[in-house]
Amino acid sequence: MHRSCRWLLFLAAATRLWAQAPAPVDLIWSARYVVTMDAQRRVIENGAVAVSGDHIVDVGTRADIDRRYRAAQRLDRPDAILTPGLINTHTHAAMSLFRGIADDMNLQDWLQKFIFPAEAKNVDREFVRWGTRLAALEMALSGTTTYTDMYYFEDTVAEVTKQAGLRGMLGQSVIGFPAPDFKTPQASLAATEKFFQAFAHDPLVIPAIAPHAIYTVPDDVLKQTRALANRYQKPLVIHLSETKAENDEALAKRKKTPTAALEALGVLTGWTVAAHGVWLTDDDMAILKRRDTGLAHNPSSNMKLASGVAPVVKILGAGIAMGLGTDGVAGSNNDHNMMEEMDLAAKLQKVTTGNPRALPAQQAFEMATITGARALHMEKLIGSLEKDKRADMITVSLTAANAVPLYNVYSQLVYALKGADVRDVMVNGRPIVRDRKMLTLDVPIIMMKAAEYQERVKKSLGMK
Ligand SMILES: [Zn+2]
């Protein structure tokens, strides 16, 4: 054989060997079941996910993934379910320092008599920093990887979110009265513009503007919030049709539902996430569908404040993306536990429609993952375990008494497993919880600060 021919054969053989050699990746996580939430809704028994940098490289059986990739680090959980990270589409994280401050009253009394005065007396930048740290800890430990926030000092919320390693769509509040951070809507708008610029290309934070609601923000300011959001192509987050009182007031004052009024003002002409939608009419749903507005359903909050039951089956049936949220924990929940929201969302639809088939477990789990991602307009990045998406995922342990036996993974996730069963959490390719230990935050200091604030808040309100 000619020498160059032999050389070519050698090269071909070497290439074949090289092609079969496992490719290096940063991490492999494997589990008994991998629930992908991809378009086919594949559930892979003895599955694994390969991750490099911030993204998913491959998803498959553990045998296939181990043949194709060699990981610098690996985590094998043969007794757990691996799922996409949970997406909380509506909350007010820093309010966790007001947890349970005023329970068992209606929204208007709760807001006007307790929350607004308590905020006026206590909320400053440090309060927001520690409240958000407490919420981030609680959210991460119960499997939330992305959350949507509406509050004050949102640049500090963004700092804490990055420090915790969570992903956030974080809305700087704009409201029609002096707020804890800014005394006028104009000052809030100016600060929001700076916030948009500071976090324009952040890998974890999407800055947003958060006009509180149609009944707390003047019309001209609402228009300005939309214009600013659109100028920077950032989201606008808002409360919408939460209570019957809100709808009745809009109908009396404007002869329009809150949704129709926002539409008439042009507020829905862009990237929007609206929380609640309890009192939406068919016409409202048609508007939201046309505008591709995402919605956040908050079953705990709606039940606790007796706001009503959002027509979730109808909303999803109309093709509107509706995710799940915890809302704030000051009196409208009182925790940040998405496992609970899935369970309640499913059961609440069954009770109100009289149909046990309404909102089955898989659909409830979709709301907490891929449909929630669609509601945030982030479905290209998160919400499912697929190649090239961001590596946001959790393992949920199957070792507790409430976790066995297992016949259907969705049923287990929605109706049996709890937030405390979450064992590991990764966001953007970075493990932030390992074996139920928070890796990114100093837990004892957060707990100490929570106790300190409890005393300070009680004193400020003259509570014993
Ligand atoms: Zn809210």
Q: 10-residue block means of pLDDT along the chain (464 residues)?
A: 63 61 97 98 98 98 98 98 99 96 83 84 97 98 98 98 98 95 97 98 98 97 98 98 96 98 98 98 98 98 94 98 95 92 98 97 98 98 98 98 98 98 98 98 98 94 82
- So what's the pLDDT on residue 118? 87
DSSP structural state of residue 85: P
- Cα(242) to centroid(ligand 1), Å: 9
- Cα(275) to centroid(ligand 1), Å: 7
- Cα(212) to centroid(ligand 1), Å: 8
Of the candidates 342, 298, 302, the one whose C-alpha atom is nearest the C-alpha of residue 91 is 298
- Cα(239) to centroid(ligand 1), Å: 6
- So what's the pLDDT on residue 4? 62
- Cα(271) to centroid(ligand 1), Å: 18
CA 173 to chain centre: 18
- Cα(135) to centroid(ligand 1), Å: 15
- Cα(301) to centroid(ligand 1), Å: 8
- Cα(92) to centroid(ligand 1), Å: 6
Do 45 and 92 contact (CB within 8 A), yes or no?
Answer: no
- Cα(442) to centroid(ligand 1), Å: 27
Place of tokens 């708008």: 189
- Cα(147) to centroid(ligand 1), Å: 13
- Cα(274) to centroid(ligand 1), Å: 10
What is the crossing angle of helices 125-141 and 154-164, to 10°? Answer: 40
- Cα(298) to centroid(ligand 1), Å: 9
- Cα(456) to centroid(ligand 1), Å: 24
The model's pTM is 0.95
- Cα(319) to centroid(ligand 1), Å: 23
**Residue 428 to residue 421: CA distance in whole angstroms:** 21
DSSP 382-431: SSS--TTSB--EEEEE--SGGG-S-S-HHHIIIII--GGGEEEEEETTEE
Quick one: CA dihedral 368, 374, 377, 383, positive or negative? positive
- Cα(120) to centroid(ligand 1), Å: 17
Contacts 24+ apart (CB under 8 A), 103-111: 103/304, 103/331, 103/334, 105/331, 106/243, 106/305, 106/306, 107/242, 107/243, 107/245, 107/305, 107/307, 107/332, 108/243, 108/245, 110/305, 110/331, 110/332
DSSP structural state of residue 356: T
- So what's the pLDDT on residue 8? 66
- Cα(126) to centroid(ligand 1), Å: 21
Determine if the peptide bond prior to 405 is cis (ω within 30°): yes
